[in-house]
Amino acid sequence: MAAKRFLNESGSNPDQPPEKRPRNRPSFASVIGEVVMVNSIQNFFSALEPMLRRVVNEEVERGLAHRSFRSITRSPSLRIQALESSGLKLIFSKKISLPIFTGSKITDVENSPLQILLVDTRGGHMAPASLPHPIKVDIVVLDGDFPPGDRDNWTSEEFDSSIVKERTGKRPLLTGEVNITLRDGFAPTGDVEFTDNSSWIRSRKFRIGAKVVSGNTSGVRIQEAITEAFVVKDHRGELYKKHHPPMLEDEVWRLEKIGKDGAFHKKLSSSGIKTVQEFLKLSTVDPQKLRTILGNGMSEKMWEVTIKHARKCVMGNKFYLFRGPDFTIILNPICQVVRAFINGHIYPTRDLPTINRTYIEKLVREAYSNWYSLEEIEGLPNEPALLTQGDMVDQYPNHHHNHYQSMAMKSIQQSGYPIDQKSAEVGCSDWQINSNAYLSTISIEHGIGGYSISESSSDGELTPSRSFINGN
């Protein structure tokens, strides 16, 4: 029995189910490996989900836009509405201030930050417009040659293809607040500046553009804004730039055609002409001397450019008193007479041409020679006391001004100067002296030198005219 039992246990019986073996327990390392793998898969799907959602959304939006376009093309009324919506455009409210240097804030001509407006151009004119919701606007740099042919309209693709990016290895070409929000049809740009000059592109010029960020307008086309084309110079060039308009205290090389440390600058400096004010004073008193200092290197055309720029100078509100025993004259900062009290007569600006030419020239030259001893005042005085030093105020009060004019008219006639009788009959309020007189009126732009004293000698020789009297 024992042997039989042994044989039965050792033999194999196909009809008998196999014995169950104990399952091996997983190791700790395998458990950790499975957990890591599950986490990796979950992270992968978490990262994949936003991408899939974005792709699906883009495809859905593209399909809806295609269907909307087809429905618009089928409906005449909707097609007209779509065409009309293209009348919206962005514009810069004012022109940009030039010149522009790297690292300097970009402003408009009024030295304020650039401002962007939304306008409607339908009907052939621009009208302010606004949207019911804010929109995002990007400030970009464009090639100066855009748009081709100086067109007034272009496509979004043409605009985007003309955007200029920074050079390799350089900072962003435009820095500052380049992403702004337009609300109620208006958006200031804030501080924006260039980091690189414009010399490396073919046109050598940039434009600043403003475009609506894609997806902000629900499919409505808003044309981009652009400025005029301009050159961007390196910041070091700002140290040598000209001032427009120049100031009296500016160094003389700030004037056009006079370069810093150049030949003209050195000649003027060696002659004591170091500021724009000194340049203008000498041009008033002795323009021929000024031309001689500059020499033959300055052509007539260059001289015209320089003097025209100088005459745009901001004159300010300072005046200078030059007193003598029987006169007091008031001069502006460039040595032109604006008012005079001579021998008991007050001569306002309009009456100054009636004064004897030789006498007024002598006074101006004396004032120029003693410029730094003149009395400086703020504003043009109205009180006769400042002119007469208080000794003749009662004798010549303001309400007797017509009497002054009559006396002055009489003295001019006695001196042999012809006077328009018609002007005399109306109280001499605006005397006109004809071309035979020594004094004539000419127009000098920007308020510098309205009257010119034409020099003439007894033997008929003529010398260049000089502007001793202010025409304001």
What are the tens digits of pLDDT across the range 140-198? 999 999 998 878 889 999 999 999 999 999 999 999 999 999 999 999 998 999 999 99
| Residue spans of beta strands (DSSP E) within 93-231 | 100-101, 115-120, 127-128, 135-143, 174-176, 179-182, 186-188, 192-194, 206-212, 225-226
Query: CA-based diameter of the chain, in Å?
Result: 175
Work out the average pLDDT over 257-274. Answer: 93
> Do 191 and 176 contact (CB within 8 A), yes or no?
yes
Q: Is the pLDDT of residue 409 over 70?
A: no
Read off the pLDDT band of 217 (50, 70, 90).
confident
For residue range 227-237, what is the model confidence (pLDDT) as tens digits?
A: 999 999 887 66
For residue range 12-36, what is the model confidence (pLDDT) as tens digits?
A: 555 555 555 555 666 667 767 776 7
Position 294 scores a pLDDT of 95
Position 430 scores a pLDDT of 32
CA 416 to chain centre: 53
**CATH assignment of 84-236, given 2.60.40.720, 2.60.40.4070, 3.40.50.150, 2.60.120.1090?**
2.60.40.720
Residues 6+ apart with CB under 8 A from 167: 196, 200
Tokens 């001579």 belong to 342
The pTM (predicted TM-score) of the whole model is: 0.43
For residue range 56-77, what is the model confidence (pLDDT) as tens digits?
A: 777 766 665 545 434 434 444 4
More confident residue, 422 or 258: 258
Work out the average pLDDT over 251-258. Answer: 93
Q: Is the pLDDT of residue 395 over 70?
A: no
> Do 251 and 115 contact (CB within 8 A), yes or no?
no
Question: Which residues, in sequence order, are bridge partners of residue 258?
Answer: none
> Do 81 and 216 contact (CB within 8 A), yes or no?
no
CA 111 to chain centre: 6
Distance in angstroms between the alpha carbons of the first and the last residue of the chain: 147
The values of phi and psi at residue 88, to 5°, are -80, 140
Residue 138, Cβ neighbours under 10 Å: how many? 15
> Do 252 and 223 contact (CB within 8 A), yes or no?
no
Interatomic CA distance for residues 312 and 334, integer angstroms: 12
Work out the average pLDDT over 454-470. Answer: 41
- What SS3 state is found at 240? helix
Interatomic CA distance for residues 140 and 225, integer angstroms: 10
Q: Which spans in 75-109 are helix H?
A: 76-85
* Three-point CA angle 210, 58, 177, nearest 5°: 25
Question: In the predicted model, what is the mean pLDDT of the chain?
Answer: 74
> Do 221 and 85 contact (CB within 8 A), yes or no?
yes
> Do 92 and 116 contact (CB within 8 A), yes or no?
yes
Give the amino acid at 111. N
Work out the average pLDDT over 68-92. Answer: 54
Tokens of 32: 């950790």
Q: Is the pLDDT of residue 112 over 60?
A: yes
Tokens of 291: 């031309």
